[in-house]
Chain A
Amino acid sequence: MTAVAQAGRSTRGRAAHRSLKRTRRGKSLSLTVIMLVMFAYAVLPLFWLLANASKTSGDLFSTFGLWFGGEFNLFANIDQTLSYNNGIFLRWFGNTVLYSVVGAGGAALLATVGGYALAKYDFPGRKLLFAMVLGGISIPGTALAVPTYLLFSQVGIVDTPWAVLIPALCSPFGLYLMRVYAADAVPDSILESARIDGAGELRIFRTIALRLLAPGFVTVLLFSLVATWNNYFLPLIVLNTPDWFPLTVGLNQWNAQANSGTSGAGDATYSLILTGSLLSIVPLIIAFLVLQRFWQSGLATGSVKQ
């Protein structure tokens, strides 16, 4: 993965001034039309989900997919989804929040501290350790899932939240990003003068570095959040008790029920799945919209700065 490292290392902050760029050129209608097609491709499936989650079971099968049914049934569907099977959906939702917040928060913190260490401290073995982590990026989580299950079952934490939380804490890509980010964001001179003033290393990190690293931290946090929120393979393997399922595994269990069960029971379940799917994507979409300033600038300075 040397090229990845190279991609990160060269030039520093030069995206600085380009806000007023090239507005003097005219807008292109054909370009806008082409991009409207892409817009439709990206958004129409989400609209389809909203429209169909708002239908009664009857309308779902009898009315056109890209528009709402005869009656607007979204809130009744939400009600039904939340109360179905003693409110198991809320339990799954809570589990997903727990896994994502604790996992992504921990992952972002560990990556920030570790990346800062690699960027700002010179210790023997530093390069080797960084190379190991880069290697870790190229090993995808799914390849490790089965052996992780076997290891965890020997330690006896399979089918507990720990089996999902511990793997979520590790983000090699986050560490890489933070190492690149910290190299530029924390000037050596500030660290030096703090040391001359007699500040301890931990204090320097807490009071000075952490503040400078905040935008990078938010980027890693957000992307770890998505990774954990959307994780399916690992929880599918390590969890058996529905009470510990995250949303993804739970929704697919409903899907399996809907398709295997006798047709009468299945039809009502589809409404639950559609409404549940809709509910499960709302928090992340809101998070991305609210935090867009952070993740866009973080990505620009981090992984792809060239």
Chain B
Amino acid sequence: MTAPAARGGLARPFLRLRLAGYAFFLPFFVVFLVVVVAPLAYAIYLSFFQTRMIGGTVFAGLANYTRVIGDALFGAGLLRVALFLAVQVPIMLLIALGCALAIDSGRLRWPSLFRISIFMPYAVPAVVAALMWGYMYGDQFGLVGQLSDALGVTAPDLLSRSWMLTSIGNMVTWEYVGYNMIILYAALRAVPEELYEAAEMDGAGAIRIAWSIKLPALRPALLVATIFSIIGSFQLFNEPNILQTLAPAVITTSYTPNMYAYNLAFNGQQINYSAAVAVVLGLVTVVVAYVVQIITARRENAL
């Protein structure tokens, strides 16, 4: 990544080149400052203030943060998305991994048909996906009810309290399994053919090749997919927010931490506290993503 001396073999520092580098980077950086850095800094700033009945907005130190930590609604939401993360993400990634291995194996008929069609839901907006699945789950013209009637069984109410998280998990899996499959598939395609030939010559079977060559080659891509899925899980908002209209009694305003932050700011007028919730949520996300990365790196070093 570094090696400036080798880059173009420049012996002397060209001021002109430096300036050109800055100039090319500047437009992106300005937008980055406005869109990412400024809101982040502003959220942190806001989180240290409180609006009181008497005295207006005053500096509150860590008061908002101690309140977040003791907030049962926030805790319940965080626990819910953590459970979601622990169950949905492994299932989705395993299915994506299986699909990628199957398509790459060369033993599948019509591989490109499967590749394109399984990826297709990624192009569907989360809103449309949530509406669609919500209607299919629902009791008005729901597919689930029609199917169970036809089969003469009683289907569970998928929009009920005990099924809701599973139902959302199914939606998210449907939306993103193909995307993750494509990422893993692209990594598989980057494995040099000679490696397979050598393995086959050594008499390795398909399973052995998948285990000893393909899985190690997939590790970086799997890590990227895992980290994006962790971020996505903690930030869960669109699907539950849409389903709220269909199941208002089950999906409360604090169903996920992100919904809580949103409702605090826009329905509760508690902007400062909402900012603190957003900051804590961001911190939790970064810490979990970081820990997962460290564990993976350590396991790689151990091998």
Q: State the A residues within 8 Å of B (CB).
A: 1-7, 9, 11, 14-15, 17-18, 21-23, 25-28, 31-32, 34-35, 38-39, 41-43, 45-46, 48-49, 52, 60-61, 64-66, 110-111, 113-114, 116-118, 120-124, 126-127, 129, 132-133, 136, 138-140, 142-151, 166-167, 169-170, 172, 175, 188, 191-192, 201-202, 205, 226, 229-230, 232-233, 237, 247-249, 251-252, 255-256, 259-260, 270, 273-274, 277, 280-281, 284-285, 287-289, 292, 296, 299-300, 303-306
A4 to chain B: closest residue by CB = B224
B272 to chain A, nearest CB (A): 10
Q: Which of A123, A251, A270 contacts B18 (CB 8 A)?
A: A123
- Cβ B237 vs Cβ A142 within 8 A: yes
User: Does B249 reach chain A (CB closer than 8 Å)?
Assistant: no
B18, B106, B133, B289, most chain A CB atoms within 10 A: B106
- Cβ B221 vs Cβ A306 within 8 A: yes
When distances are taken between beta carbons in the complex, the residues of chain B under 8 Å from A175 are 28
Q: Which of B125, B184, B187 contacts A247 (CB 8 A)?
A: B125
Q: Which of A31, A145, A280 contacts B128 (CB 8 A)?
A: A280
A133–B35 Cα distance when bound, in Å, is 12
What are the interface flags for B179-212 relative to A under an 8 Å C-beta threshold, 1 for contact and 0 otherwise?
Answer: 0001110110110110010000000000000000
User: Does B165 reach chain A (CB closer than 8 Å)?
Assistant: no
Q: Which of A61, A66, A124, A166 contacts B143 (CB 8 A)?
A: A66
Known contacts A66-B143, A256-B245; A113 and B223 CB within 8 A of each other: no
- Cβ B141 vs Cβ A38 within 8 A: no
- Cβ A229 vs Cβ B131 within 8 A: no
When distances are taken between beta carbons in the complex, the residues of chain A under 8 Å from B4 are 122
When distances are taken between beta carbons in the complex, the residues of chain B under 8 Å from A284 are 123-124
B105, B125, B271, most chain A CB atoms within 10 A: B125
A166–B142 Cα distance when bound, in Å, is 39
- Cβ B35 vs Cβ A167 within 8 A: yes
- Cβ B192 vs Cβ A14 within 8 A: yes
A248 to chain B, nearest CB (A): 4
Q: Is the interface of B mostly helix, strand, loop or mixed?
A: helix
B116 to chain A, nearest CB (A): 7
- Cβ B196 vs Cβ A143 within 8 A: no
When distances are taken between beta carbons in the complex, the residues of chain A under 8 Å from B163 are none
B63 to chain A, nearest CB (A): 19
Count of B interface residues, CB-CB < 8 Å: 114
A60–B7 Cα distance when bound, in Å, is 64
Q: Which of B31, B133, B141 contacts A45 (CB 8 A)?
A: B133
- Sample of 10 more A-B contacts, CB < 8 Å, known A39-B117, A110-B27, A129-B25: A38-B118, A45-B132, A147-B42, A232-B238, A255-B131, A270-B140, A274-B135, A288-B116, A303-B224, A305-B187
When distances are taken between beta carbons in the complex, the residues of chain A under 8 Å from B114 are 35, 38-39
Q: Which of A120, A255, A270 contacts B245 (CB 8 A)?
A: A255
A143–B9 Cα distance when bound, in Å, is 43
Known contacts A170-B31, A270-B140; A48 and B132 CB within 8 A of each other: yes
Known contacts A113-B28, A147-B278, A188-B8; A26 and B107 CB within 8 A of each other: yes
B43, B120, B131, B245, most chain A CB atoms within 10 A: B131
A10 to chain B, nearest CB (A): 9
A34 to chain B, nearest CB (A): 7
When distances are taken between beta carbons in the complex, the residues of chain B under 8 Å from A259 are 245-246
Q: Which of A4, A60, A64, A304 contacts B186 (CB 8 A)?
A: A304
- Cβ B190 vs Cβ A251 within 8 A: no
User: Does B102 reach chain A (CB closer than 8 Å)?
Assistant: yes
B2, B16, B237, B246, most chain A CB atoms within 10 A: B237
- Cβ B120 vs Cβ A42 within 8 A: yes
What are 10 A-B pairs at a CB distance below 8 A?
A11-B190, A43-B120, A61-B141, A114-B29, A121-B24, A142-B237, A143-B258, A151-B42, A230-B126, A304-B184
A160 to chain B, nearest CB (A): 15
